[in-house]
Structure 1
Amino acid sequence: MIRLESLTKSYRTPRGRKVLFQNVNAIFPEGKNIGILGRNGAGKSTLLRIMGGIDYPDSGRVVTNQKISWPMGLAGGFQGSMTGRENAAFICGIHGIWGSAKRRVMDKVQDFAEIGNYFDMPVSSYSSGMRSRLAFGLSIAFDFDVYLVDEVMSVGDAHFKRKCEDVITEKRKSSSFIIVAHAMPALRKNCDVGIYLESGGLTIFDTVDEAIKLYQGEQAKSQSPKGVATPAVELKS
């Protein structure tokens, strides 16, 4: 179970405070794979970070009885002066993994990330793609009830994208996924239900196709000369 209770999140901008979520209450369908859609800046990645415990709302909370991953592909949590191996070892320690179990996790991360000798170089020397590979490899090395996926399937070459798809297919046998992606085929393939973010709130649809239809319709309107884009919600500070 994942429940949002009176969730509010905003950011200060030069034009005032931009509100992404305003007193949002929602219960995510349990045991379902969920695709999250919305215009750029609607708060998709922010919502994943809040659910993953690496960002915090202004008020309200996320209530869950499940073990939720950090967002797959999120590279901002690494310590740049440490190597990929040292970062992986640190995360193992946080999760209480030591000895032979730790070595198995490290080997799995190194094998999946496919960054070669860079695994033993400072993360600050990595490209953004390499950071995302390392982050994804770390995510799948641990067992979670719910995996958060943020655009990681768009990173890397066809071979790496296929690896991401394969591991998601395997993990879906015992876990569920909440996925943010702009690739509609990936959402249709991996998700059962859809969530659309707009105007400081969200709408949960019974199928991901319903959410995709709304998203594509809003995109078409915003690109049309006659369309009127939905303005951002802003409060003057």
Structure 2
Amino acid sequence: MIELFNVSKTYKLKSGRKTILNGVTASIPWKNIGVLGRNGAGKSTFLRLISGIEEPDSGIVKRSKSFSWPIGFRGSFHPMLSGIENVRFVARLYGQNTEEMIDKVEDFAELGQFFYEPVKTYSSGMGARLAFGLSMAIKFEVFLVDEVMAVGDAKFQAKSKAAFKAMLPTSRIIMVSHSMSSIREYCDSGLVIDNGRMTYFEDLEEAIARYAELNK
């Protein structure tokens, strides 16, 4: 599903450079994977790398499946355009039926009149709901999830969980979450990122145990 060849990624900080991945070579299978690591370890950056939103400093990332953008990520939206205008743009970009996609996203995101207002007026939660609804409207083979299951009220959260479970037979999830209950509910293997290294665990409980050790 994903192959990394000598991939490195760093960020410049006032105190120096923060290493996210340091020469990582790995093959990641087509499974439901929980991404674990301490705050600042680079979990969200990893999702952006494998989605193609960000490029590595060096190395190659190869994908053999279609990937969503990280659900909840607002960077792909044009802030001056309305929600519906952004949906039209993405529908054309991905070759989807525009009107069908608009109907699906409007119904799922539950933004009301804000669906027709500029995205710059949205709260972070509203932007995440639009991104979530947009992702659910396209049949990706792999959905990237970054701490978005808690978006919205209880009704919207229930709808989100139902949508995920409906697509699991044909798609997979790579999920970043600090909630071990969510990781256990949706994932069956794990990745642990720590100090520039990335370790894949076929057994999810082994990944969770390793994560717990890092937090002692």
Structure 2 match to 1:213: 209
Give the Cα–Cα distance (whole angstroms) in 1 for the partners of residues 198 and 82 of structure 2.
39
Deviation at 1:216, TM superposition (A): 2.1
Deviation at 1:136, TM superposition (A): 0.5
Deviation at 1:217, TM superposition (A): 2.8
The TM-score, its normalising length taken from structure 1, stands at: 0.89
Letter of the 1:41 counterpart = G
Q: Does 2:161 correspond to 1:165?
A: yes
Give the Cα–Cα distance (whole angstroms) in 1 for the partners of residues 204 and 125 of structure 2.
28
Correspondence list, 1:65-144, <5 A: 65-97=64-96, 101-144=97-140
Q: Does 2:38 correspond to 1:39?
A: yes
Structure 1 match to 2:27: 27
Give the Cα–Cα distance (whole angstroms) in 2 for the partners of residues 172 and 180 of structure 1.
17
Letter of the 2:191 counterpart = I
Give the Cα–Cα distance (whole angstroms) in 1 for the partners of residues 185 and 3 of structure 2.
25
Structure 2 match to 1:234: none
Letter of the 1:29 counterpart = P
Partner of 1:17, secondary structure, is strand
Deviation at 1:214, TM superposition (A): 1.8
Structure 1's unaligned 5+ residue stretches are 222-237
1:116-151 CA-partner distances (Å, limit 9, x unpaired):
000000000000000000000001100111111111
Structure 1 match to 2:56: 57
Partner of 2:149, secondary structure, is helix
Structure 1 match to 2:183: 187
Q: Does 2:17 correspond to 1:17?
A: yes
Give the Cα–Cα distance (whole angstroms) in 1 for the partners of residues 73 and 204 of structure 2.
24
Give the Cα–Cα distance (whole angstroms) in 2 for the partners of residues 47 and 206 of structure 1.
19
1:78-116 CA-partner distances (Å, limit 9, x unpaired):
11110000000011111123xxx2111111001110110
Q: Does 2:147 correspond to 1:148?
A: no
Partner of 1:152, secondary structure, is coil
Give the Cα–Cα distance (whole angstroms) in 1 for the partners of residues 3 and 150 of structure 2.
28
Deviation at 1:218, TM superposition (A): 2.1
CA RMSD after TM alignment: 1.0
Letter of the 2:99 counterpart = R
Partner of 1:85, secondary structure, is helix
Give the Cα–Cα distance (whole angstroms) in 1 for the partners of residues 142 and 70 of structure 2.
10
Provide the aligned length of Structure 1 versus Structure 2: 216
1:53-96 CA-partner distances (Å, limit 9, x unpaired):
11111011211221111111111221111000000001111112
1:20-45 CA-partner distances (Å, limit 9, x unpaired):
10000111122x10000000111100
Partner of 1:70, secondary structure, is coil
Answer with 1 or 2: which has the greater Rg: 1
The TM-score, its normalising length taken from structure 2, stands at: 0.97
Give the Cα–Cα distance (whole angstroms) in 2 for the partners of residues 104 and 88 of structure 1.
11
